[in-house]
Amino acid sequence: MLGKLGVSCAHMSKAETSYMIKAIKVTGGNLSWDSWEGPGEPPADHVEIEVVWTAINRADLMQRAGVYPPPPGASDILGLEVSGRIASVGPDVTQFKPGDEVCALLTGGGYATRVVVPAVQVLPIPKGLTLEKAAAIPEVFATAWLNLYHEAALKPGERVLLHAGASGLGTAVIQLATAFGNPVFATAGDKTKLEVCRSLGASGVWNRNEGSFIDAVTAWGGVDMVLDPVGGKYIAEDQRVLNVDGRIVLIGLMGGRMAEVDLGIMLIKRQRLIGSTLRSRTVEDKGEVMQALYRHVWPLLAAGQIEPLIDSTWPIEQVEDAMAYVAENRNTGKVLLKISD
């Protein structure tokens, strides 16, 4: 069965499609690796990437389940990040050429052999890293930078409470915050994951299965920011450990969309609750985040000071099993899908 590959910011006419690709198709929650029409020539400020690796993110699971549709104009193919080689470039693109090894932040379309993406959302892979390692960078490090240093505007020395610390995002946040002088207290669901959090730089940890984190975080000295992908009942507890002028940045709803907020504490301690997503932001916004990564984070990656933590790799034909593995919270770090050689 033939589908049509969506392009991040432009719709291609039928006359412009000239070859076939393969991509993951979602039908009633089921996945299949099928043939699709290729995206054709990239628009003027876009590039076309021959995908070698992609990665699984929570958003992919939610989109598959029908509860997180792609933004208007985005591809309905899963996949928010890739690494690979430039296949072709639009006429206005001067920073890349065919054959360049790159990684990219996407609005969708990563579970495919080719993808077209705005050039500002693409970066050369960090020096010394493989395409495999590079595939684990864009979504989690962009999300980490956006929320730590843009939304929360962390200052050196300010302290962070991080939930789901052993996730792909969590392992990036711990390393990034620690590298920039922001101590991290991480929560996770088992001893092994907490040991990984400590090894990456977390100076405080808590097993969420042992009850509330309030006393442990308070004894640690409280925090200036909470990065919370859980929501639900965690919000009220987050408030209890925030210092004056503290910020809660909500980036997910794994614990539910309804929460109790103590407005008295919020008012007296000047707390802020910030909702944040990356996927629906403009191309310009995403480009600014990627350039910030290139300036501030790429040198750390090239120096080996920080690195993406990869839990496991799976062939794209085993995407069902790989997504089930992530859904069961069995991973520590990123789970990658191999698309091609």
Residue 266 lies in a domain: yes
Verify that 69 and 166 share a domain, yes or no.
no
* DSSP string for residues in 128-149: T--HHHHHTSHHHHHHHHIIII
pLDDT tens, position by position, for the chain (341 residues)? Answer: 333 333 443 333 444 445 899 999 998 889 999 998 887 789 999 999 999 999 999 999 999 999 999 999 899 899 999 999 999 999 999 999 999 999 999 999 999 999 999 999 999 999 999 999 999 999 999 999 999 999 999 999 999 999 999 999 999 999 999 999 999 999 999 999 999 999 999 999 999 999 999 999 999 999 999 999 999 999 999 999 999 999 999 999 989 999 999 999 999 999 999 999 999 999 999 999 999 999 999 999 999 999 999 999 999 999 999 999 999 999 999 999 999 99
Verify that 17 and 131 share a domain, yes or no.
yes
Verify that 161 and 231 share a domain, yes or no.
yes
Q: Which two tokens stand for residue 152?
A: 């929360």
Verify that 80 and 165 share a domain, yes or no.
no
Verify that 123 and 152 share a domain, yes or no.
no
> What is d(CA 340, CA 316) in angstroms, rounded to the nearest whole number?
9
Sheet holding 30-37, edge to edge: 3-4, 30-37, 20-27
Say how many CA atoms lie within 13 Å of 8 toward its Cβ: 33
φ/ψ of 189, rounded to 5, equals -100, -5
Verify that 195 and 151 share a domain, yes or no.
yes
Count the neighbouring beta carbons within 10 Å of the beta carbon of residue 155.
11
Nearest to 297 by CA among 171, 177, 204: 177
Contact 303, 17 (CB under 8 A): no
Query: What's the CATH code of the domain at 19?
Result: 3.90.180.10
Residue 293 lies in a domain: no
Verify that 51 and 31 share a domain, yes or no.
yes
Residue 334 lies in a domain: yes
Contact 333, 171 (CB under 8 A): yes
Residue tagged 């009220």 (tokens)? 236
Verify that 10 and 91 share a domain, yes or no.
yes
Structural domain including 75 reads 3-137+309-338
Residue 303 lies in a domain: no
Q: What pLDDT is recorded for position 261?
A: 95
Instruction: Provide the residue type at 157 as one letter.
Output: G
Nearest to 141 by CA among 311, 326, 303, 294: 294
Verify that 144 and 267 share a domain, yes or no.
yes
Verify that 124 and 243 share a domain, yes or no.
no
Query: What's the CATH code of the domain at 163?
Result: 3.40.50.720
Structurally, the chain folds into a number of domains equal to: 2
Verify that 114 and 165 share a domain, yes or no.
no
Beta 46-55 vs 334-338: how paired, if at all?
Answer: antiparallel
Beta 184-188 vs 160-162: how paired, if at all?
Answer: parallel
Length of the chain in residues, anyone? 341
Q: What pLDDT is recorded for position 167?
A: 95
Verify that 219 and 108 share a domain, yes or no.
no
Q: Residue 25: which residues within 8 A CB-CB, separation 6 or more? A: 1, 3, 31, 32, 33, 34, 36, 77
- Cα three-residue angle 75-170-105, rounded to 5 degrees: 25
Residue 286 lies in a domain: no
Which one of 230, 250, 275 terminates a domain?
275
Which one of 275, 291, 324 terminates a domain?
275
